[in-house]
Structure 1
Amino acid sequence: MGWLSSIKWNSIHTKLLVTYWMLTAIGTSLMSGYILWSCYNYFIETRQADLENWSGALAESVADALEEEDLDRVDVIMQRYGAPEAITLRILDVNGQLIATSSPELDSQIENWLEVSGVNEALQNQVDQGLTKGLLSNDDRLYISRPISRNGQMLGVLRMSITLEQLQNQFANIIWTVLGALFLTVLLCTLISEWLARSLSRPIQTMQAFAIRLGSGHFGDRLTIRQSNELDQLAIELNRMSQRLESLDQERRSFLADVSHELRTPISNVQLTVEALRSGADAEPDLRDRFFQTVEDEIKRLSQLVYDLLDLGRLEAGVTSLENRAIALPNLIERAVRAMETRLKALEIRIQQNVANLQIQGDPERLLQALLNILDNAIKHSQPNSQIAITGQREGKQIVIKISDQGTGIRERDLPRIFEQFYTADPSRKGSSTGLGLAIAKRIIEAHGGNITANSIFGHGTTVTIGLPLQKSGHEESLSKVEV
């Protein structure tokens, strides 16, 4: 019995196999039992019908002989039609006394015929039939007792019985044949059930092992299930999840590496500056002031980096609460331009606005932050005495804002990554930027149900396109053109 202990009774394979086997066994057993019961009843009913027909015909022949008081003829009828071993015929008079029988040796042992099944009923002019035991044996017999009458006068009783031993022997052979066929059917169904259970449980077990590996951090694995059903679709979704987890894991690793790098540089600068001051650099006023300015700049950079990281984390986690109110698009653009006015004048960069009088729905401060980050990036990459164009128009069910500069542009290989954290297409021009501005802008726009894209021709400038849901207004659209 050691093999029983090795079976995983709670496994899907075992449960499916047992379920299939039980359903097959119960179904075939019920069907076989019903068929056998129906056949047995059919045979019994057929025999009873035969007894009724035979006894009716014999009763007429015996009635003729009794009416003529010809008992020898009655004996001849009994011996002729009661000759088969399975059939027994008896004729009794109106007082229940035996007149003739096809089995005289056996019947001589019966003392009271009124106690025999069906005799009393027949003496009361009723036909009675049924199943009973033999008079002096334990074998099952079908019997029929019917009155013998002629012209309304009862002449006696005919009792006819037939043994079921031969029928039962034949039926026993049928039962064993059905049981053998049932066993083969159950065996065959067990093999088919085993195949079906394995075909269903094997991919589930494979997916279970795959999920366990995913949980342990093996995100690069791929799952292959060759079945054209729901399991195949589930495998596809698991592979998509694995790819997404792998991508997120790579992004996490890259993000941690970038954060470490971004934090290491200003911290190292501050540390070196402090060590220089401690070593006596504070003796020269100009050098000391320059070192203090370096420490202040690096601390501001660290502070801005930490603020941007917290802001980006809140946006990605969806825990930042956003206002939801109508905003006039020209006013929002004007606020962003005014905030950058000092830098624009210092670099002699002009702003060309072409903004329709439209309403958008959202958080004005967050949307202003996104526009400032995009404008800051455009100004940093623009040449002095150049122009930045800002347009805002309705396109379908969206408001599309475009911010175009005349800077150096972005290479095609770098364009898909400019909205990633800490990514800089030209590291030499990064300056004091944290590298999170465009990433934060992207999260803000997406939080408002919008989208942001960029296209560029290297050497001819870059255009950032923002799409935001339209807030319908009762005012007609008008253009606001301003040049700074």
Structure 2
Amino acid sequence: MKLRLKVISMNMFIIVAILLVSGIIIIRTIDNFNLYTSYQYVLSQSKFTEQYLTEYLKISEKPHVSLELNINSLEEKLRLQSGCGVEISGSDKASANEMQKNALEGKKVYLISSESPNRKLLMAFPIIVKGSVIGTVSLEYSLYQADSMKRNLQITLVILLVFALSVSLVLSYLFSYRMIKPLEKLTLTTKEYSKGNFNEIGGVKTGDEIEKLAHSFNDMGRNIKDMIDRLTDEQQKQKKFIDSVTHEIRTPLTNIIGYADLSGRVNEEEQRKKYYTYIIDESKRLLNMVNNLLDLSQLNQYEFSVTKKETDLKNVIIKAVELMRDRAGKFGIGIDYQLEDIRARVDGEKIKQVVINIIDNAIKYSEGSLVKLKLWREQGVFIEIRDNGIGIPKDDIKSITEPFYRVDKSRSRKLGGNGLGLSICMEIIDAHGGKLDIDSPEGEGTIVTISLQP
């Protein structure tokens, strides 16, 4: 059954139930009131009749004889006086009915008779003269007015019920339309969501929970769409990452296989040693690449965590410089530094790795002659690494910290670069709650500034 039909049926059922229960209670209450009023009237007339007959018969020496002789006149007089049907009978139980028999026993009884179309209130009571029951009086009062009022109320109830059902049908339809139309929109929207269409629901202005539900659906659609967009973007990044990894790993592997094959074909020992050197260099390059990939993978999966402790930053930077000084000298690059004595809560090994990577980039790509390092404290702790090389194109600055991004790809491969160094540096500094900035005007060299919390 459709929801609209359920709403209409429920409303009509409630209206019918309320009217029927209310009507029955009202009709019964009014009818009982009318019956009680009629009973009180007949009771008062019975008292008058009883008193009148007692006074009339007690002066007679033979009351029962006087009663029998004057029954007709007494009935007529009492009928006119009371407005009720009056029947006077003697003390003969053989010809008496059930009510009269009870009255002859000294009881006053009454009942409501429904044998005729209109009900009647019947009452019987004894005629007592000088302590003896000499007969009975039966009063009959028509309940025509009470029955007429009851029928009118019943007719009114039926008319009211029909009218209420008609009004309820119209109002229920309008109400259900107002309530269900937005739900139908929500249903259609849900079907569209299942197809991947996350269009917003419009035109729902009910001012109640349904409107809030529509807003919730819209929020859910936007969130799902944003989530799908993010997942799609992550999938594209992952594909690009895997493609780059595949390409980077394939190159040294190809060289290793090639040199290994050539070394087995040549006879000159000097040539063979040269190929072995190439194989070792490419193997080291591949190992370095795999280690960097593992570091980057851990950082992206939030498995990496820095271990901060009180560290002598000056000593950390000097160790990094000494490790890179010989390599820099091979390229004709000098390293100079100006370092303050500063201790800070950092992961010393990770900071050293950052400094080494940045110096290594300066050696590979700057084409300069000098790398300067500076360590100082202001509102925070700052490390600056500056070279006097060719700089970085402005369009490449924003992307230079992305995995596998290289400004000069041919030169990077020639020098063993894989585009992962700065990505790892950025992740390490972020894990410290710091910031890594790169300023590199073309032709003026590159300045990398690391800011750490004091």
Q: TM-score range by the shorter chain?
A: 0.7 to 0.9
Question: What SS class does the counterpart of residue 446 from structure 2 fall into?
Answer: strand
Residues 129-173 of structure 1: per-residue CA shift (max 9 Å, x gap)? 9xx7x5326x8969798999xxxxx99877663333443343233
Partner Cα distance (1:287, 1:159) in 2: 142
Q: Is the contact between residue 332 and residue 368 of structure 1 (CA under 8 Å) also seen in structure 2?
A: yes
Change (3 A) 1:66 1:416: same
Moved more, 176-185 or 57-66: 57-66
Report matched runs for 1:245-264 at 5 Å: 245-264=231-250
Aligned length in residues: 404
Change (3 A) 1:411 1:92: farther
Report the CA distance between 1:382 and its aligned residue.
Answer: 3.5
Q: Is the contact between residue 11 and residue 172 of structure 2 (CA under 8 Å) also seen in structure 1?
A: no
Moved more, 253-262 or 264-273: 264-273
Moved more, 371-380 or 431-440: 371-380
Report matched runs for 1:183-222 at 5 Å: 183-210=169-196
Residues 263-297 of structure 1: per-residue CA shift (max 9 Å, x gap)? 2222222333334334x4x2234433322222221
Question: What SS class does the counterpart of residue 113 from structure 1 fall into?
Answer: helix
Whether 1:265 aligns to 2:251 is yes
Whether 1:224 aligns to 2:206 is no
Whether 1:390 aligns to 2:374 is yes
Give the equivalent residue in structure 2 for 1:415.
397
Whether 1:75 aligns to 2:61 is no
Report the CA distance between 1:437 and its aligned residue.
Answer: 0.9
Query: Identity over the aligned pairs, expressed in percent?
Result: 22
Whether 1:135 aligns to 2:117 is no
Report the CA distance between 1:411 and its aligned residue.
Answer: 1.4
Q: Is the contact between residue 123 and residue 157 of structure 1 (CA under 8 Å) also seen in structure 2?
A: no
Amino acid aligned to 1:319:
E
Give the equivalent residue in structure 2 for 1:379.
363
Partner Cα distance (1:291, 1:96) in 2: 150
- Which structure has the bigger radius of gyration? 2
Q: Is the contact between residue 125 and residue 138 of structure 2 (CA under 8 Å) also seen in structure 1?
A: yes
Residues 395-437 of structure 1: per-residue CA shift (max 9 Å, x gap)? 4xx6444433332221121111111111101223311122211
Question: What SS class does the counterpart of residue 246 from structure 1 fall into?
Answer: helix
Residues 341-389 of structure 1: per-residue CA shift (max 9 Å, x gap)? 323455342333344624224x332332223222322333334432423
Q: Is the contact between residue 108 and residue 123 of structure 2 (CA under 8 Å) also seen in structure 1?
A: no
Residue from 432, 440, 445 that aligns with 2:429: 445
Report matched runs for 1:334-373 at 5 Å: 334-346=318-330, 347-355=332-340, 357-361=342-346, 363-373=347-357
Report the CA distance between 1:201 and its aligned residue.
Answer: 2.1
Question: What SS class does the counterpart of residue 459 from structure 1 fall into?
Answer: coil
Change (3 A) 1:327 1:115: farther
Question: What SS class does the counterpart of residue 326 from structure 1 fall into?
Answer: strand
Whether 1:427 aligns to 2:409 is yes
Q: Identify the structure with the greater helix proportion.
A: 2
Partner Cα distance (1:406, 1:144) in 2: 128
Partner Cα distance (1:201, 1:360) in 2: 57
- Unpaired runs of 5+ in structure 2? 54-73, 127-135, 203-213
Partner Cα distance (2:357, 2:156) in 1: 97
Whether 1:48 aligns to 2:27 is no
Q: Is the contact between residue 340 and residue 375 of structure 2 (CA under 8 Å) also seen in structure 1?
A: yes
Change (3 A) 1:316 1:157: same
Residue from 5, 10, 14 that aligns with 1:30: 14
Question: What SS class does the counterpart of residue 33 from structure 1 fall into?
Answer: helix
Across the aligned residues of Structure 1 and Structure 2, the Cα RMSD in angstroms comes to 4.2
Whether 1:173 aligns to 2:159 is yes
Partner Cα distance (1:357, 1:232) in 2: 54
TM-score in terms of structure 1 length: 0.69
Question: What SS class does the counterpart of residue 407 from structure 2 fall into?
Answer: coil
Change (3 A) 1:77 1:272: farther
Residues 17-58 of structure 1: per-residue CA shift (max 9 Å, x gap)? 64x765665465335423432243234323433454565567
Change (3 A) 1:203 1:437: same
TM-score in terms of structure 2 length: 0.73
Change (3 A) 1:21 1:377: farther
Report the CA distance between 1:61 and its aligned residue.
Answer: 6.7
